[in-house]
Chain A
């Protein structure tokens, strides 16, 4: 063992390193990927939650898609706030269309009192699996299964399943309207509706399309498709199709006449100041309904 061995080793190692560095440099020059600098700029403006609400594989995916298309046609971040899309449009030198801010709304109010359990499900705790197996623990084949696929889909922690009612509850402040929960729900119960003036909303909290008697037998507060609300509505915002009423939020003027006309209490109002006279009438009607 002598010192020359150490010296030769060090020299050959350095030589190998330098050669490899030169090769790497040349390869990197030759195979350089030209990336649009706007992609990084756009990505920086996006929320970075990778919620998938836009339909692209994460925020980077949307940024690449926007930069490649060089337009905002059909490409928008549903999760970002009002400033997001105009900012991205400015990067591209385009005009952004205005988007009505939306919020997730749960269209099922069949809690355990209104929709009694008739069977027990103890399989894999996921709504899609239960939906594939049978109609659910209650008798309503359209209603919420309560296993929280929506809550797991939410990247913002804005939706959770209430343990006492077994129904999802939306945290309106946290909800970005990205529609990830809308896509996760196998029964199409959640809808992204316009946030409305002063966060006020009126909607039919039911998606049951069975005939009235069958729907009512399954759930005490099901929409029975009677059409009272549609006749009551002065703005023609309500349509009844296949035994189910739907309120078009573009036409609805939040007058709340439909809410008090509903015989089953399926139409809900959110964020309105409490009523004085009418509310008591609605309440007595509701308590009279047999489940």
Chain B
């Protein structure tokens, strides 16, 4: 019997069109815009100014405060300006715009794994410093600074590292390809993270709709690594959610409002692990990532290794150009991704995919009245009552929303997906979350 999480969960069609497409490097664009805020927390402070020459891998934005991340130039060229550029959120945020000239890398970055240096030669501090310097953030989409996650608060006892290779979002295959193509590197990276956390055990969770990735990782584990286990999981969305994955693999339940460390677990995405591997062995900062460009109407869906700051338009061009009947372009997957307002929006550290949806499928169905069927309640992986949260949100019952545990919502969209009346449950729940968040902020000082 394969493991999975309870309660809730849904089974959207997988549509992994690009799972057999090997990762190809994307040609460098003419110009890139590198946002100074690609992570949760305080935006980085720019270190360059208009007219400066930069090299790929050079630090251009410095982390501010404990929860923040460094930002590096992903290309070599001239800084055109530091200006507000519209990002996936739909609002303009400061970014460093660079005209690309050649492909010259910063002297500190070695393009090859430093030979002869054994894993055990790296100390814990060295690993953490390399991850901090490289500006690594959670690449599954949450973009939480990895360094912070690897430094558990005093008093907590991490016992298990879980590597998230679930990729439960339909369409996306970036992590899938990474596990097939870079299995050895991922295991080395996992060993590094285990050392940084001081844990003896790691589990790589992979859904069983990726048999090639499962077989590849298993083979690599047999050959190389100790203390790492590959755990096949039964397909169910949103298994890639941190709390759901912990529940599926260990059976432990993370209490509401608490972090996974409270049950002795730390979860990292495979993309993050690969970035950590590169940062530690090559001093390479996080300046490129695998992005899945996909959609049923695209002529060549595929996986592209592209530099941070590349406009989405370049990726779509590589995948065969934007089809005429396009209705929506989404950054991320169809469940949790964000519809873009323009294809000039750039790839950031957290962009896992670009999804093109034809007009015929893009529009929402008109919402009708709730029929109290409780499908949303059965689908909610956090055990909440989405229909109730929506009603309370509509009537601005902020305190009641808080009591109904709205802050536990992980915004996976399962309720929206399953609602037969097409009610915009998540939109209102998100609004309620922000209101409750404000309420909690005002309460804090007392």
Contacts and interface: CB of A to CB of B under 8 A. Distances in A.
Contact of B90 (A122, A124, A134, A214): A134
B90 A132 contact: no
A138 to B, nearest CB: 10
Contacts of A118: 341-342
A128 interface: yes
B431 A129 contact: yes
Interface residues of A, number: 14
Interface string B290-302: 0000000000000
Contact of A214 (B84, B339, B428): B84
A214 B92 CA distance: 11
B42 to A, nearest CB: 21
Contacts of B434: 132
A133 interface: yes
Given A118-B342, A132-B434, A135-B341, A141 B427 contact: no
A119 interface: yes
A122 B424 CA distance: 10
Contacts, number: 40
Contact of B424 (A119, A124, A214): A124
A290 interface: no
B427 A134 contact: no
B91 interface: yes
Interface centre among A118, A134, A210 (most CB of B within 10 A): A134
A214 B89 CA distance: 18
A210 B90 CA distance: 15
A123 interface: yes
Interface string B345-377: 000000000000000000110010000000000
B431 A135 contact: no
A153 to B, nearest CB: 11
Contacts of B253: none
Interface residues of B, number: 18
B91 A132 contact: no
B234 interface: no
A135 B91 contact: yes
Interface string B413-440: 0000000000010011011001000000
A155 to B, nearest CB: 16
Nearest to B366: A122
A132 B338 CA distance: 12
Contacts of B431: 128-129, 132
Given A123-B424, A124-B424, A132 B341 contact: no
B428 A124 contact: yes
Contact of A129 (B84, B90, B339, B427): B427
A135 B90 contact: yes
B446 to A, nearest CB: 21
Interface in A252-266: none
B364 A123 contact: yes
A119 B363 CA distance: 13
Interface in B283-312: none
Interface in A211-264: 214
Nearest to B84: A214
Contacts of A129: 424, 427-428, 430-431
Contacts of B363: 122
Contacts of A123: 364, 424, 427
Nearest to B90: A134
Given A119-B342, A135-B90, 18 more contacts: A119-B339, A122-B364, A124-B367, A124-B427, A129-B424, A129-B428, A129-B430, A129-B431, A132-B434, A134-B90, A134-B91, A135-B86, A135-B91, A135-B92, A135-B341, A210-B84, A210-B92, A214-B84
29 contacts: A118-B342, A119-B339, A119-B341, A119-B342, A123-B424, A123-B427, A124-B367, A124-B427, A124-B428, A128-B431, A129-B424, A129-B428, A129-B431, A132-B430, A132-B431, A132-B434, A133-B90, A133-B427, A134-B90, A134-B91, A134-B341, A135-B86, A135-B90, A135-B91, A135-B92, A135-B341, A210-B84, A210-B92, A214-B92
Interface of A: 118-119, 122-124, 128-129, 132-135, 141, 210, 214
10 shortest interchain CB distances as A-B pairs: A134-B90, A124-B424, A124-B427, A119-B341, A135-B90, A129-B427, A122-B364, A135-B91, A123-B427, A141-B91
